Amino acid sequence: MNVNKNKWLKIIIPVVIVCLIGGLWLLKNAQVSETRQESQVGSSNPDFALHVAEKLDLEQLKSYGLPIVIDFGADSCIPCKQMAPILEAMNEEYQGKVIIKFVDIRKYQELAEGYPISLIPTQIFIGADGKPFNPENPTAFSLNQYVTKDTSELVFTTHEGGLTKEDLLKIFEAMGVQ
């Protein structure tokens, strides 16, 4: 009986040691992965800074798989000034859930090229899938949708004018943001 006990101990002890080492390895790698993700989607990452300066890499922003709101305005525009604190607060509160950008088109006119902007502020909404946000009822949010003439493919979803925090929250909810 003592021989059987020794055999079991010789088997169980190495198995327990391997399990402990494996568990520690998994725990450490999970923490490293979480740290990497936080550094990718965090306040230190310039892709998540509110103000855009000189470059707006939409493909890079889409690669995060998050809804995107780009507000085209100007620091000297009254409705834009009214929205500024809302955008700042929402950018901080929804960091890692929504990418919120502000482009001053008086300073960086070239960044507005290719977007349907006829007045400021104008917000562009892009879903987490990288495609223009397509709500069931765009008029409920006062959104404009632009489609191609030949295929009727949705190209842009925009809002013209200022938005309140409540308006943005309703849009975020429709975009699937928790």
pLDDT tens across 23-77, in order?
A: 777 777 666 544 444 445 555 788 999 999 888 999 999 999 999 999 999 999 9
The answer to whether residues 94 and 118 belong to one domain is yes
List, in order, residues 6 or more apart from 42 with CB less than 8 Å away. Answer: 48, 95, 96
The answer to whether residues 51 and 31 belong to one domain is no
The answer to whether residues 165 and 94 belong to one domain is yes
**What's the one-letter identity of residue 136?**
E
Q: How far apart (Å, rounded) are the C-alpha atoms in residues 129 and 94? A: 18
Number of structural domains the chain divides into = 2
The answer to whether residues 31 and 104 belong to one domain is no
Domain carrying residue 19: 1-40
The predicted-structure confidence for 90-131, as pLDDT tens digits, reads as follows: 999 999 999 999 999 999 999 999 999 999 999 999 999 999
The answer to whether residues 94 and 142 belong to one domain is yes
State if pTM tops 0.95: no
Q: Is the peptide bond before 121 cis (omega within 30 degrees of 0)?
A: yes
The answer to whether residues 71 and 117 belong to one domain is yes
The answer to whether residues 106 and 151 belong to one domain is yes
Inform me whether the pLDDT recorded for 162 exceeds 90.
yes
pLDDT at site 39 = 43
Cα-based distances in Å from 63 to 2, 37, 118, 138: 62, 13, 28, 25
What single string gives the DSSP state of each residue in 49-106?
Answer: -SB--S---HHHHHTT---EEEEEE-TT-HHHHHHHHHHHHHHHHTTTT-EEEEEETT
